[in-house]
Structure 1
Amino acid sequence: MNLILQGLNTDRNAIDSIAALAGAERIAPIHANAWRCEGVQHFAEIKAKVDAECLAAQLDGTFIDGARKLSDFKLVAMDMDSTLITIECIDEIADMQGLKPQVAEITEAAMRGEIEFRESLTRRVALLKGLDASALQRVYDERLKLSPGAEKMLAAVQAAGLKTLLVSGGFTYFTDRMKTRLSLDYTHSNVLEIEDGKLTGRVVGGIVDADEKKNTVERVCAELGISPLQAIVMGDGANDLKMMGISGLSVAFRAKPVVRAQADVALNFVGLDGVLTLFA
């Protein structure tokens, strides 16, 4: 096993200390702020100590089989809100209605797994009833930003021949634009109902919840003729856990504690391109 340590700024003393804690045989630099600790011990007790030390040093630490390569994978599946992009679109739409605190509170509870996603989405969308649909474009133009490292990560995986899937409990208005902007292969999300230029407070068709996200990953894998174990799946909220659970590598990006605890990889400090460093 290797232990990959990376951060926005790294202190070599902290690297050496954590590597020693993991019983590393060698330490090799990957780039200025990333190190590969080779031949480490991987036991639950050691991992818990390493995780605590990494958090204190603002480092992301990942135990990974040294033989794994990016070419082992054929698909990268991503959540959108707070994963591929920095915002929760529905919270920002609600802000146009003066309802961001109320909607954001429901969003947070759902991402922590305290409210079932389907119920939370129905409640949040209902609060948007009557809002002019032009608010969606304003959110896209004024507030939507890609997460750090997103473009670099996507460029690398696409160059390596991996397919890309954006599967979101958010809305097609935004996933469609992300698909075009980032040359993604597949997208799947919810459709907001609009009548006479205004949001009705309803979603058209089925809701993309945790089960539908998992089903979508399975469906795309079947279409590609691959196993879900050949997919890297990234997310941040409780509704991402089911699709992350069937993947070959699950990545929690700046995620809720319940998600970090169950993921293979937790990136709390570096950008999405930190995934690439695991295979360097």
Structure 2
Amino acid sequence: MNLILQSLHQDPVALHNIAHLAGGQIVALSQTAWRCEGVEISASRAVEIDTACHAAGIDYALVPPGRQLSDFKLLAMDMDSTLITIECIDEIADMQGLKPQVSAITEAAMRGELEFNESLIRRVALLKGLDASALQRVYDERLQLSLGAEKMLAAVQAAGIKTLLVSGGFTFFTDRIKKRLGLDATHANELEIVDGKLTGKVIGEIVNADVKQRTVERLCAEMGIAPEEAIVMGDGANDLKMMSIAGLSVAFRAKPVVRAQASVALNFVGLDGILSILGQ
């Protein structure tokens, strides 16, 4: 296997120590990425590497030699705290003076401690009566793309890979991000708005973990590809089902339960970290 190491800062001593643990020679791929080739790592040694990397602020990934971005045909992404830096519902709630209450429910749901449908219903109910203009304010004033998002998408789209944004968040934001970034498809929850105000309800089926998985499967079927030809990225427990069917699952700034089950985790570098992992 190849061990890919990535960091936003260079620490030659830490890199040397990790390469020694892996039993390989380190080769620089860029100013932020390095590769150890032909390594064989036992379970106990993997724990040592994980500990050393985390302490040094280094992301690592074990990948088969020759694995390329061109091996994949679809990139499916979660939105909140993955493609973008915020949880939109928390920022909407801040307009209502209820961010702490809503954020606590969001965190519990993303850790897998609270069933997603229940958590969304509870959170959206707290928004009842809020002027719908608050959604535009959140988009204009608070929504930012995650580090490396544009570089990653430029490479993915140049490679002819289709893009899907599938979110337990809201269509107000996914629709605008789709247009802004030239994404191929989106699927999210629709907030009910009556007379310019949020009613505290969503319209139609809630986009939970099962719906996210079905959305990825449906798009793969429409494209005539296997789910193994998809890269799926997420950060919360409601992303685990769609990540489990992917050929490559990427945990980005993710909760521990997600990092533990993903193919690779990006805790320190940006979303474009998948490019170094896939030979770009």
- TM class, shorter-chain normalised? over 0.9
Q: Which residue of 2 aligns with 1:151?
A: 150
Percent identity, please: 73
> Normalising to structure 1: TM-score of the pair?
0.99
- Larger mean CA deviation between 137-146 and 6-15 belongs to 6-15
Q: Which residue of 2 aligns with 1:106?
A: 105
Q: Distance in 2 between matches of 1:273 and 1:118?
A: 31
Q: Which residue of 1 aligns with 2:16?
A: 16
Q: Distance in 2 between matches of 1:43 and 1:218?
A: 34
The one-letter code matched in structure 2 to 1:22 is A
1:41 Cα deviation from its structure 2 partner: 1.2
Q: Which residue of 2 aligns with 1:175?
A: 174
The one-letter code matched in structure 1 to 2:203 is V
User: Are the equivalent residues in 2 in contact too, given 1:10–1:59 (CA < 8 A)?
Assistant: no
1:12 Cα deviation from its structure 2 partner: 1.4
Q: Distance in 1 between matches of 2:5 and 2:27?
A: 10
1:181 Cα deviation from its structure 2 partner: 0.2
Whether 1:227 and 2:232 are equivalent positions in the alignment is no
1:43 Cα deviation from its structure 2 partner: 2.6
1:33 Cα deviation from its structure 2 partner: 1.9
Q: Which residue of 2 aligns with 1:2?
A: 2
Q: Distance in 1 between matches of 2:59 and 2:137?
A: 35
Q: Which residue of 2 aligns with 1:93?
A: 92
Deviations 1:210-255 (A, max 9, x none): 0000000000000000000000000000000000000000000000
Q: Which residue of 2 aligns with 1:51?
A: 50
Deviations 1:32-56 (A, max 9, x none): 1210010111332221111110000
Query: How many residue pairs end up in the alignment?
Result: 279
1:67 Cα deviation from its structure 2 partner: 1.8
1:10 Cα deviation from its structure 2 partner: 1.9
SS at match of 1:81: helix
The one-letter code matched in structure 1 to 2:148 is G
The one-letter code matched in structure 1 to 2:230 is A
Unaligned runs of 5+ in 1: none
SS at match of 2:83: coil
User: Are the equivalent residues in 2 in contact too, given 1:42–1:63 (CA < 8 A)?
Assistant: no
Whether 1:243 and 2:242 are equivalent positions in the alignment is yes
Whether 1:259 and 2:266 are equivalent positions in the alignment is no
Q: Which residue of 2 aligns with 1:128?
A: 127
The one-letter code matched in structure 1 to 2:13 is N
Deviations 1:53-90 (A, max 9, x none): 00000000111111211100000000000000000000
Deviating beyond 2 angstroms after TM superposition, the runs of 4 or more aligned structure 1 residues are none
SS at match of 2:61: strand
1:7 Cα deviation from its structure 2 partner: 0.4
Deviations 1:90-115 (A, max 9, x none): 00000000000000000000000000
The one-letter code matched in structure 1 to 2:89 is I
SS at match of 2:5: strand
Q: Distance in 1 between matches of 2:109 and 2:21?
A: 36
The one-letter code matched in structure 2 to 1:231 is A
SS at match of 1:31: coil
Q: Which residue of 2 aligns with 1:73?
A: 72
Unaligned runs of 5+ in 2: none
- Larger mean CA deviation between 169-178 and 42-51 belongs to 42-51
Q: Distance in 2 between matches of 1:34 and 1:14?
A: 13
User: Are the equivalent residues in 2 in contact too, given 1:73–1:231 (CA < 8 A)?
Assistant: yes
Alpha-carbon RMSD across the aligned residues, in angstroms, is 0.6
Q: Distance in 2 between matches of 1:199 and 1:44?
A: 51
The one-letter code matched in structure 1 to 2:65 is G
Whether 1:277 and 2:276 are equivalent positions in the alignment is yes
- Larger mean CA deviation between 40-49 and 168-177 belongs to 40-49
